[in-house]
């Protein structure tokens, strides 16, 4: 195997992963799993018909939530949506909620930009 076909570290614990194969003839299977028996990634092996497909499947990762957050260009909620979910009956409190939520949005977006 080369660097493109080596299993990435376990997506659950970050530990090393290993490649397995078993069966014979038409029952031959290939898979990858975490080497740590106590990790969920150890039990999560899926069988594939080729070694390359097994490693490609193991190395496939979902986009990290911050990747999506980095694409957010502006407010996530409208002012009316914020007012709708605010837990208050006072009009003056409602007027204060929107700037408060906008300040939180700005702080979160700043942290995301700072970390990228």
- Whether 32 and 69 share a structural domain: no
64 pLDDT more than 90: no
**SS3 call for 33:** strand
Question: For residues 109 and 113, what is the distance between their CA atoms, to the nearest angstrom?
Answer: 6
Cβ-based neighbour number of residue 32 at 10 Å: 24
Q: Summarize pLDDT for 1-54 with one digit per residue, the tens.
A: 555 678 999 988 999 999 899 999 888 999 999 999 988 888 867 788 998 999
Residue 80 in any domain: the answer is yes
As a whole number, mean pLDDT of residues 87-104 equals 77
* Shared-domain flag, residues 82 and 104: yes
Section 47-75 average pLDDT: 76
Domain holding 28, by residue range, is 17-59
Domain boundary among 44, 59, 74: 59
The pair of three-digit structure tokens given for residue 42, joined into one six-digit string? 């150890």
pLDDT at 103: 85
Mean pLDDT of 101-108: 82
Structure tokens at 100: 């408060």
- pLDDT value for 105: 82
Cα–Cα distance for residue pair 48/43, rounded to 1 Å: 15
The predicted model scores a pTM of 0.50
Helices (H) and strands (E) in the chain, counts: 5, 2
Q: What confidence score (pLDDT) does residue 44 get?
A: 67
Distance separating alpha carbons of residues 112 and 96, to the nearest angstrom: 25
pLDDT of residue 35: 93
| Number of domains comprising the chain | 2
Asked if the model's pLDDT at residue 68 lies above 70, the reply is: no
Q: What is the reported pLDDT for 86?
A: 72
Instruction: Please count the other Cβ atoms lying within 10 Å of the Cβ belonging to residue 88.
Output: 11
Token pair of 28 as six digits: 């031959």
């Amino acid at each position: 195997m080369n660097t493109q076909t080596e299993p990435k570290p376990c997506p659950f614990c970050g530990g090393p992963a290993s490649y397995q194969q078993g069966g014979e003839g038409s029952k031959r299977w290939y898979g990858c799993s975490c080497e740590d028996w106590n990790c969920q990634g150890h039990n999560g092996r899926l069988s594939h018909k080729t070694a390359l497909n097994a490693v490609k499947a193991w190395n496939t990762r979902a986009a990290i939530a911050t990747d999506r957050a980095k694409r957010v260009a502006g407010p996530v909620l409208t002012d009316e949506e914020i007012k709708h979910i605010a837990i208050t009956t006072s009009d003056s409190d409602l007027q204060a909620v929107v700037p408060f939520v906008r300040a939180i949005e700005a702080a979160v977006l700043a942290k995301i930009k700072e970390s990228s």
